[in-house]
Amino acid sequence: MRLPTQADPTAARLTSIHVSFEGRVALSAVDVDVRAGALTVITGPNGAGKSTLLEVLAGTRVPASGTRSVSGAIAFVPQRAAIPMRLPVTVNDVVSVGTWGRLGPWRPMDSTARALVKDSLERLDIHALARHPFASLSGGQQQRTLLAQGLARKADLLLLDEPTTGLDAASSLRIRAVLREEAERGAAVVCVSHDPAVIGDAEDTIRLADGRVA
């Protein structure tokens, strides 16, 4: 494992971030630097603002104040699929969405995109499910499919919300290995997690309490 150094470039920076919902403060005066080539884990008790912080990093949540600076492509892997279960898409279809950043939506896939999808499926050990309907998968299989979509993006910043929650030991170990591989290729990997094993894998840890960095 390569340990990141202070010379590693900053992939994302949040400064004085403040987020509130209907008068309730979710994040207050949060400063965060995320390093490329490192696994960063956001942890803390329920309601501490972990998922909100991840959303601000992803750009899907606009803070009331503060600044956000992110360099490179982003892949955001949520904890739960936002894909309607009645939508007739296969596992391969879902993972292929990860290549849209380089191809554009609904464009024919070229050989590079097909190779990215194949590699992502194999790394998560779901290549045998490629033609299966996404809706027919177990929760753990759906989670691995969403992560495979993120891998196909070849992102500079990979964001994940509780990637090992509810998974068996073998699936959790495989996902942890993939996160390490992504960091080693130079990506900044950030995940929200309560999993002691994932926290133990991290080079950097952001602990939140009551919307502040503890």
Helices (H), the chain: 50-58, 91-96, 100-103, 111-123, 139-152, 169-184, 196-201
The DSSP secondary structure of 35-86, one letter per residue, reads ETT-EEEEE-STTSSHHHHHHHHHTSS--SEEEEEE-S-EEEE-SS--S-TT
Which residues, other chains included, contact 201 with Cβ-Cβ below 8 Å and sequence gap of 6+? Answer: 39, 41, 176, 179, 180
pLDDT tens, the chain, 214 aa long? 445 454 568 999 999 999 998 888 999 999 999 999 999 999 999 999 999 999 999 999 999 999 999 989 999 998 766 666 677 899 999 999 999 876 556 667 788 899 999 999 999 999 999 999 998 998 888 889 999 999 999 999 999 999 998 888 988 999 999 999 999 999 999 999 999 999 999 999 999 999 999 8
Closest CA to 123 of 154, 98, 144, 96: 144
In whole angstroms, what is the distance from residue 206 CA to residue 174 CA?
23
Query: Within 13 Å of residue 196, how many CA atoms lie on the same side as its CB?
Result: 0
Does pTM surpass 0.85?
A: yes
Among positive and negative, which fits the CA dihedral 189, 191, 196, 197? Answer: negative
In whole angstroms, what is the distance from residue 209 CA to residue 76 CA?
23
- The pLDDT value recorded for residue 160 is 96
- The pLDDT value recorded for residue 4 is 47
- The pLDDT value recorded for residue 82 is 61
Give bridge partners of residue 69 from the DSSP assignment.
Answer: 13
Q: Is 92 exposed, middle or buried (0-12, 13-18, 19+ CB in 10 A)?
A: buried
